[in-house]
Amino acid sequence: MRIFTIIVTYNGAHWVDRCFASLMSADAPCTVLVVDNGSTDGTVERIRAGFPSVEVYRAHANLGFGKANNVAIRMALDRSATHFFLLNQDAWVVPGSLAALATELDKDPSFGIVSPMHLNGSGDALDVFFSRSLIPAQCPGYLSDLVLGKVKTGIYATTNVNAAAWLMSRACVERVGGFSPVFYHYGEDENYVNRLHYHGSRIGVLPGTYVHHDREDRPESSYFTDRMEYDRRIFVRNLSDPADERTGSEELAVLARARYKALLFRRSSELKRIDARKQSLLRSNLQQVIELRARTRVPGPTFLGEEEDLLGAVIRV
């Protein structure tokens, strides 16, 4: 078993000690790869000083979350990794979790990704976004088993889990590939899960394993507060799903019909929302989205090949 833990950093000095110390004391030995996206707060220096066994690579420019992960996934793939543990810089692993995740993932090859339970930073509640992955519509059986005191020891399938802590099998990476380059920040994990399902694999959660995800102690991102950017990501995420056959022009036609209806009934507020969504969609390179969607339908290490020039984007420090 060769586990490679992959962490993308950007001004994450605040979390370095908790994140990396949890990996140094993990029950399953792992090689830790860091791709730093241009931190200016001493993140890289703090990692090198406190955790010299960690391999740190600095990107020549901010690659975004997806591409930076792809760089390290490519490295680990070339070094015969059997498991790829993607961990956020603002998260840390509870002892006993990593080995259990790897063991259970190996037991059932129908799963390509398994995630631990995500707690908040203080550990007194579930991470609010992660909790949505456990509702019956997303994760059949888990809540009933929890209430009845009969939670199984194996993996529960769910439709989606955010990528703050993913353990991926080598078979998953070789079949589904890396993250799509049309996502710079946010949305890339949802797209990846769509592709995972398309290729006949599953994602799940493993009770009894935990990470802390400290969302509460990080600044708010403009990718959430900018409504036009948020709408654009939703459109791109949907159009990037390999199971979707729509074209960009078809999506624009839907908006055109909705706009005509809003004009007809003089719904001014709805008209403004439709126009804003149209502008969001037009901000995207729809042809690129459609072309890349076609690539993800073909099994293989998509977006991890030499044509992406991944390894040339970083330097070891």
DSSP E strands in the chain: the ranges are: 3-9, 30-36, 55-59, 83-87, 91-93, 111-120, 156-158, 165-169, 202-213, 314-316
Contact between residue 8 and residue 32 where contact means Cβ atoms under 8 Å apart: no
Coil/strand/helix, residue 169: strand
H-helix or E-strand spanning residue 292: helix 286-296
Contact between residue 221 and residue 269 where contact means Cβ atoms under 8 Å apart: no
Residue 204 φ/ψ region, left for φ over 0, alpha for ψ in the -120 to 50 degree band, beta for the rest:
beta
Helix spans in 8-139 (H): 16-24, 43-50, 64-78, 97-107, 128-131
Structure tokens at 214: 């400290």
Query: For all residues of the chain together, what is the average pLDDT?
Result: 91
| pLDDT 10s digits, 148-194 | 999 999 999 999 999 999 999 999 999 999 999 988 888 899 999 99
Q: Which amino acid is at 298?
A: V
Coil/strand/helix, residue 96: coil
Coil/strand/helix, residue 38: coil
Domains of the chain: 3-219+298-316 (3.90.550.10), 224-293 (no CATH)
| pLDDT 10s digits, 202-237 | 999 999 999 999 987 666 655 555 666 666 677 787
248: pLDDT strictly greater than 80 = no
Most confident of 120-134, 227-241, 283-297: 120-134
CA 294, 169, 105, 57 torsion: positive or negative?
A: negative
With CA atoms as reference, report the closest residue to 6 among 97, 82, 96, 70.
70
pLDDT recorded at residue 219: 62
| pLDDT 10s digits, 210-219 | 999 998 766 6
pLDDT recorded at residue 260: 86
pLDDT recorded at residue 278: 78
Residues 6+ apart with CB under 8 A from 284: 182, 232, 235, 236
pLDDT recorded at residue 226: 65
**Angstrom distance (rounded) from CA 220 to CA 65:** 16
Of 267 and 126, which is predicted with more confidence?
126
